[in-house]
């Protein structure tokens, strides 16, 4: 199946700093990528939809200036958590879809962010 | 009403039994439905998807869809301890493929 790679797998940062998470589709071109956040024992919550070459579409309640998304190529989307705070600590997961698989969603491995 | 609802469980079944996981959704216009398995601390992995009413079988897994009742289920036959995980139901609400997830049902298969 399609492979989506995420980096880093886990990161610890100080409060007030920014952290960038990368999401790459390794064997297909993803015109659309999605960013989710999952708190412990909670479901995945869609944060934003990232479209290659255009601005991301954010879900209601997600601050676009705090969670910067860039989808510069058909294989790479990045999520930058700016001025991170402890409440931003979470499991961040990206996913991508490919039309050749009927738009089935494939997930990256996820990135654990801990803000101290 | 939440868009995708699942019983959080935990659902406990003995090894070798059939595990039945259920999911309902609110958007009658939803077209595609997915089941993902998520182990603790890991990213979800796709088990199967279904688009049409009826049953779809893949190995020990069978997905069932009833659009009239807005209901989708996953049956796991001959359950194994390694099947113990949280199972997420997801519904595709748009043409771009953005999925809406249920909260998941935690399954525990006892040896």
**Cβ contact, residue pair A103, B97, below 8 Å:** yes
Of B46, B67, B48, nearest in space to B59 by CA: B48
Average pLDDT score over chain B: 91
Please give the distance of CA B56 from its chain centroid, rounded to a whole number: 13
Q: What is the mean pLDDT of each run of 10 residues along chain A (116 residues)?
A: 87 96 90 90 88 87 94 90 96 84 78 96
> What are the tens digits of pLDDT across the range B45-103?
989 999 899 999 999 999 999 999 999 999 999 999 999 999 999 998 665 567 888 99
Quote the CA–CA distance of B15 and B61 in Å, as a whole number.
Answer: 15
**Cβ contact, residue pair B96, A44, below 8 Å:** no
* Token couple for A3: 């492979």
Chain A residues whose CB is inside 8 A of the B32 CB are 102-103
The pLDDT score that the predictor gives to residue B8 is 84
Supply angle C-alpha B56, B69, B75, rounded to 5: 35
Quote the CA–CA distance of B77 and B67 in Å, as a whole number.
Answer: 23
**Cβ contact, residue pair A105, B42, below 8 Å:** no
Of A113, A112, A107, A114, nearest in space to A35 by CA: A107
């Amino acid at each position: 199946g399609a492979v989506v790679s995420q980096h880093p797998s886990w990161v610890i940062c100080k409060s007030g700093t920014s952290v960038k998470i990368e999401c790459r589709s390794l064997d297909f071109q993803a015109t659309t990528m999605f960013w989710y956040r999952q708190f412990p024992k909670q479901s995945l919550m869609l944060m934003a939809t990232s479209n290659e070459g255009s601005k991301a579409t954010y879900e209601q309640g997600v601050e676009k200036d705090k969670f910067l998304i860039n989808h510069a190529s058909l294989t790479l989307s990045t999520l930058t958590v700016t001025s991170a705070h402890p409440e931003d600590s979470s499991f961040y997961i990206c996913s991508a879809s490919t039309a050749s698989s009927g738009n089935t969603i494939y997930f990256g491995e996820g990135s654990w962010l801990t803000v101290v | 009403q939440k868009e995708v609802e699942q019983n959080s469980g935990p659902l406990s079944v003995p090894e070798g039994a059939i595990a039945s996981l259920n999911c309902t959704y609110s958007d009658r216009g939803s077209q595609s439905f997915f089941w993902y398995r998520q182990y603790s601390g890991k990213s979800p992995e796709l088990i199967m998807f279904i688009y049409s009413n009826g049953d779809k079988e893949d190995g020990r897994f069978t997905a069932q869809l009833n659009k009239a009742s807005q209901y989708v289920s996953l049956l796991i036959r001959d359950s194994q301890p390694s099947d113990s995980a949280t199972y997420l139901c997801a519904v595709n609400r748009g043409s771009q493929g953005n999925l809406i997830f249920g909260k998941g049902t935690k399954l525990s298969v006892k040896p």
